[in-house]
Amino acid sequence: MKFIDEVDLKGKTVFIRVDFNVPLDRNRNITDDTRIRAVLPTINYCLEGSAKVILASHLGRPKGQRIEEFSLAPVARRLAYRLHKKVRFAPDCIGPEVDKLKKKLKGGDVLLLENLRFYPGEEKNDPEFAKELMKGVDIYVDDAFAVAHRAHASVEAVTHFAPSCVAGFLMRDEVHYFHKSMEEPARPLVAIIGGAKISGKLTALVNLLKHVDKLIIGGAMANTFLKAMGYNVGKSLVDDTLLGTAKDLMAAAISKEIKFYLPVDCVVADRLEKQAETKITPVQEVPQDWMIVDIGPATVTLFGEALQNAKTIIWNGPMGAFEYDAFGRGTMAMVHKVAESYALTIVGGGDTDVAVHKAGEFQRFSYVSTGGGAFLELLEGKKLPGIAALENWAKKNGHD
């Protein structure tokens, strides 16, 4: 695909699909603007090139209806603060009023459109909706990796109507780091996979066995593997329908001589609540009426030693229910272990991203992906619609 620094931007109207799906508190104040800051290099590059910049994003899940709590108005204010310049905010994303605002733009101006998902055509990949979005646009830029796995109108259909289609700097970094970690990794390549359910990451685990030298499993998904090995896991979250699959995955890892790591001790609680009673126990001694909520200190040491000689580390999913401080020590400890390694370190997945920020180690990671679902689908070996659309446009227009 083509990238934004390969086209002439001067005087052009540039439509950038960004991901401003940021978290808001009850008073609609932004609590974390990482996703806004992530696309500033692309926006500023366009502004420095005297382009007229139109930004489009979704926020939340309004399901095709105009719901004010999902308005991007708070984003416009934060973006203006980050850019140190005025950001015009459109009352809609298509229509006569928006068309007028587009025509009034001058080089160096920024216009943020209202929530794309206020229209059902966005998620339905409606070509007519996409055509409306592209009115008056010279260059389409996709810099929203977090929605690259969605065949939505502003991601896929728009590439059939834009005169020129390129990827932004954030998209380039996401693709570059993933390719570097999976296709051409410095070895040993270690994958750390956590989170709640094995079912949601089964395809990724199977695909990872084609690439990794070591596989570390933590979080609630480790419970299914432990139970498959015959351990009693009490009232822990387990996917009983995948016990056989877990056995097969472990057998496949052994046959490929992949080092496979599971927790050896754990933090257990009598209930999943802030005030729960907790204790540390070996995985062989989980009480019948308790549940596993985090990895234990011996496991942190084991996993840390497995990372000692790693040259590339990919991490997706926390090691426990880290949203509760008492159950987050294992995840926090692993953040520090990975940050202290001498490897290329790549983190993907919303929860893991939150943990890295919470531990104050963001700057020590090689790359922290902005996309949870998109990153996971790349781990599964899938071609993302957003990336495929840009590649297809480049091929059709002689940019192989």
Positions marked active-site: 35, 197, 350, 373
Q: Which two tokens stand for residue 324?
A: 């509760």
Q: Which two tokens stand for residue 349?
A: 């997945």
Torsion of CA 373, 376, 382, 388, to 10 degrees: 50
Across the chain, the runs of DSSP E, i.e. the strands, are 13-17, 52-56, 88-89, 110-112, 139-142, 165-167, 189-193, 214-217, 259-261, 265-269, 278-282, 291-295, 312-316, 344-347, 367-368
Phi, psi of 274, rounded to the nearest 5 degrees: -60, -35
Note whether 121 and 67 are within 8 A (CB). no
Distance in angstroms (rounded) separating the CA atoms of residues 60 and 74: 13
Q: Which two tokens stand for residue 117?
A: 């998902």
Phi, psi of 197, rounded to the nearest 5 degrees: -120, 135
Q: What DSSP designation does 267 have?
A: E
